[in-house]
Copies of this chain bind each other. A is one copy, B any other.
């Protein structure tokens, strides 16, 4: 009969590629681990590992069994989490990932509100780009992520939080433009964007459909604050999310902010979690706190 123990040992073996070290990380001896691996192989009737002098490698079957095993171990962890959290909402540890174009502008309002509404919550924060956050969610290293929707991943569930409109930021000495011409501005080659990998860059490029991204001069900016400085310095124009503007990120007399006519281009910020993780209630509660601490700012 297959056992969770065997799956744990196989996972360690895949990670370390070494029987001895795998046994060590499992806090058992090498023969004990060898035995369990062998029994798993015998039960499944297939070789899972190639034993070679220089370490160990998994066979194709081994890779598949290990992958499925990891999913099972995650699900077992979910059972424990679900039982521990049963009835309790937003208590204990919650590992939250947030993208860089949201975290600095929302957290100063969100964290105090959360501490007030859910004092037992132990929030563990991580700021990173979308694809990394998703990978960590899937590996069970993160519970929830706040990022720009939609997320195309079958094992993800998501919940929209709020719409975040884009504003156009131009140097203050630029002449004003009628609303209908503002879209035009975006097709200039002095559009300033975050460096590759930031979702905000992709979204801005989607807004400027007719712009050839190869024509863009790159400044390697990694923060919106830097980009605003570039705009203030007359080096170009950019798109800024309203969330950033509300947090006074663009409060510079040398920068003028222009709204788009309806329907304004926007992004949708939302929460994402591993579909099978027992986090529905936590996510709903978190969402309502976020919305509550956004609302007054919009008024």
Interface pair B64/A278, CB less than 8 Å apart:
yes
How many A residues touch the partner, as a band?
20 to 34
Interface pair B65/A83, CB less than 8 Å apart:
yes
Measured in the bound complex, the distance between the Cα atoms of B43 and A154 in whole Å is 31
- With both chains docked as a complex, state the minimum distance between the C-beta of A26 and any C-beta of chain B, in angstroms: 12
- Which among A3, A45, A64, A72 has the greatest number of chain B C-beta atoms within 10 A? A72
A76 within 8 A of B: yes
Given known A2-B76, A3-B3, A4-B2, contact A68–B82 (CB-CB < 8 A) = yes
The number of times this chain is found in the oligomer is: 2
Nearest B residue (CB) for A82: B64
Interface pair B76/A44, CB less than 8 Å apart:
no
A61 within 8 A of B: yes
Interface pair A68/B61, CB less than 8 Å apart:
no
Enumerate chain B residues within 8 angstroms of A78, measured Cβ to Cβ: 68
Interface pair A45/B83, CB less than 8 Å apart:
yes
A216 within 8 A of B: no
A107 within 8 A of B: no
Measured in the bound complex, the distance between the Cα atoms of B14 and A171 in whole Å is 68
Residue among B65, B68, B275 making CB contact with A154, cutoff 8 Å: B275
Interface pair B82/A45, CB less than 8 Å apart:
no
* Interface members, chain A 77-101 (any B CB < 8 Å): 78-80, 82-84, 86
A249 within 8 A of B: no
A135 within 8 A of B: no
* Interface members, chain A 205-231 (any B CB < 8 Å): none
A289 within 8 A of B: no
A123 within 8 A of B: no
- With both chains docked as a complex, state the minimum distance between the C-beta of A68 and any C-beta of chain B, in angstroms: 5
Measured in the bound complex, the distance between the Cα atoms of B72 and A154 in whole Å is 18
Measured in the bound complex, the distance between the Cα atoms of B86 and A44 in whole Å is 10
Enumerate chain B residues within 8 angstroms of A46, measured Cβ to Cβ: 83-84, 86
Interface pair B3/A79, CB less than 8 Å apart:
no
Enumerate chain B residues within 8 angstroms of A75, measured Cβ to Cβ: 68, 71-72, 75
Residue among B1, B72, B84 making CB contact with A45, cutoff 8 Å: B84
A139 within 8 A of B: no
A35 within 8 A of B: no
A60 within 8 A of B: yes
Please, could you name 17 A-B residue pairs with CB atoms under 8 Å apart, sorted by A?
A2-B4, A2-B76, A2-B80, A44-B80, A44-B83, A46-B83, A46-B84, A61-B82, A64-B82, A64-B278, A65-B79, A65-B83, A68-B75, A68-B82, A71-B276, A72-B79, A154-B154
